[in-house]
Amino acid sequence: MIILSIVIIRQCNRKKLTKGWIMREKVETAQCSKGYKAVVLLVCIIAALGGLLFGLDQGFIANSLPTIEKVYHIGISEGESYAAILAVGAAIGALLSGFFARYLGRKWSLVFGGFMFVAMSGISATLPTFYIFSACRFALGFAVGVASFIVPLYLSETAPSSIRGSMGTLFQLMITVGLFVISLSNVMIVKVFVEPATSLSMMFIVILIFGGVMFIGAIFLPQSPRWLMLKGRKEKALKVLRRTLNTEQDIQFEITEIEEAINASVGSITGVVFKKYFLKILLVGIFIQVFQMFVGINLMVYYAPTIFGYAGMHGLLAKMSVPTVFMVFTLPAIWLVEKWGRKKLLYVGSVIMGITMAIAGFAFLAIGDITDPALISPFIKGVLLVSSTIYTIGFAFTWGPCAWLMCSEIFPIEGREVGMTITTMVNWSLGAVIMGTSLTFMETFGNSSIFFVFAICCFLSMVFLKFFVPETKGISLEKMEFNLKSGVKLKNIGS
């Protein structure tokens, strides 16, 4: 994390020194403040550790499912159910996160999620009965649902708009770090501890340690200045802004924009849902999350080792290729999301993923009904492995970070919690469906079938992007809200 902080600080410093940045700063002075202190980077990195919890739980299943099956004597369907119950808990966590975010605040909601994560990981490490074990998985999902809601919201409201995209991608980066760490540690634990029960306990202890780091770090975070203003705590909001912004002019400009946005918000929190402008942008957010799920990433994250096993690949490469490239290729998003913008990245991702999903489908068609791994062509195995790897790269720097980032940016302040509650619930609800049915779908309709379904969804997402999704790069949340309420076309509200 220290290395990551240095990279981001250097990137931002280089950016400020260029002539183009200076010109842009002059042009956009009327939109948002640009001067910020380095401490804001540390604040955002600590907050983004909530994504680490997300990744730890997502990556846990991939290389631990065989161990769980041995310890609890369960089959494929029970394994699918255990994997999916995380998403069910996350959907409910997301449902209640709007309440937490509004009344506890963004900071203490993160602290609560961290505490839940530590407690449930500790209980799971004792290997209780399968019913309690599953209940802990549900509660872990609840904590992850809270984190997946609160972290993007906190980052979008705390980071200055000039680096909001880069800071927002930290959430996805931490997810991939969690995926990689838990996948690798699970593989190593199984090699070191031969006894399945001991291995499973150690896997949860690793999660507990990382959860403790996030929990402690969250305690020292400042509250979101926008939430403080919503609660009428202007002096405290000013105090937070003085910790993060450089000049009094920047601070006063930011506080004025927040005040104007809050004063323009009329009606109850739930009443905003029935306003025409909100319904339109809500549908955009919902379909962003629908497509993030139906481009097929959960299939790869949760079941890549199982899928590669169907093709006769069981080695370290099959177990670690997806989490490794997922983590490495999320890093470019920190830079690209501000240089290219969110919408262009989503287009690029849809193309890459659509093509590679189709190729993976054809690879499984070529394998057909062959069950003996020795009879499967090494070329076909290579095609499947390479296409899956490139697919993961395509998701890692595009739909992975950008979907969460955009859903934290597009909603007006009075309906931000409601909008993110609904869109996050959509994400997790669809995630539960995909986690709970993917292997059964492949067994019923053939291994290739699900890849073609996801490939079609990738290409459909491009139509959606073309006509409805705005570019949100470099514009303040308040300006975007003004455009939305003024009746500007959805795809143009970021202009």
pTM: 0.72
Give DSSP secondary structure letters for 54-103.
Answer: HHHHHHHHHHHHHHHHHHHT--HHHHHHHHHHHHHHHHHHHHHHHHHHHH
Per-residue model confidence (pLDDT) at position 25? 37
Q: Which CATH number fits the domain that encloses residue 475?
A: 1.20.1250.20
Cα–Cα distance measured from residue 117 to residue 123, given in angstroms and rounded to the nearest whole number:
10
What are the pLDDT digits (tens) for 365-375?
Answer: 998 887 777 78
Cα–Cα distance measured from residue 1 to residue 233, given in angstroms and rounded to the nearest whole number:
32
Task: Between 11 and 373, name the one with better pLDDT.
Answer: 373
Residue 121 counted as domain residue: yes
Neighbours of 164 (CB within 10 A): 27
Helix boundaries (H) for 104-195: 105-125, 130-158, 164-192
**Of the ranges 133-147, 240-254, 259-273, 307-321, which is most confident?**
133-147
Residue 28 counted as domain residue: no
CA proximity to 167, closest of 404, 365, 348: 404
Q: How many domains does the chain have?
A: 1
Residue 419 counted as domain residue: yes
Domain range for 364 is: 36-221+264-492
**CB contact at 8 A, 113 and 143:** yes
Residue 120 counted as domain residue: yes
What are the pLDDT digits (tens) for 319-363?
Answer: 888 889 999 999 898 889 888 999 999 999 999 999 999 999 999
Mean per-residue pLDDT for 122-141?
93
Cα–Cα distance measured from residue 310 to residue 323, given in angstroms and rounded to the nearest whole number:
19
Per-residue model confidence (pLDDT) at position 44? 84
Residue 362 counted as domain residue: yes
Mean per-residue pLDDT for 23-34?
39
What are the pLDDT digits (tens) for 85-102?
Answer: 888 898 898 888 878 888
pLDDT, averaged across the chain: 84
What are the pLDDT digits (tens) for 145-159?
Answer: 888 888 888 888 887
Residue 385 counted as domain residue: yes
Per-residue model confidence (pLDDT) at position 269? 58
Residue 235 counted as domain residue: no
**Of the ranges 62-76, 174-188, 256-270, which is most confident?**
174-188
Residue 299 has pLDDT above 70, yes or no: yes
At CA 405, angle to CA 402 and CA 406, rounded to 5?
A: 85
Residue 14 has pLDDT above 60, yes or no: no
Per-residue model confidence (pLDDT) at position 6? 37
Mean per-residue pLDDT for 390-412?
92
Per-residue model confidence (pLDDT) at position 264? 66
Q: How would residue 394 be classed by pLDDT, with cut points 50, 70 and 90?
A: very high
Mean per-residue pLDDT for 461-478?
91
Residue 180 counted as domain residue: yes
Per-residue model confidence (pLDDT) at position 81? 82
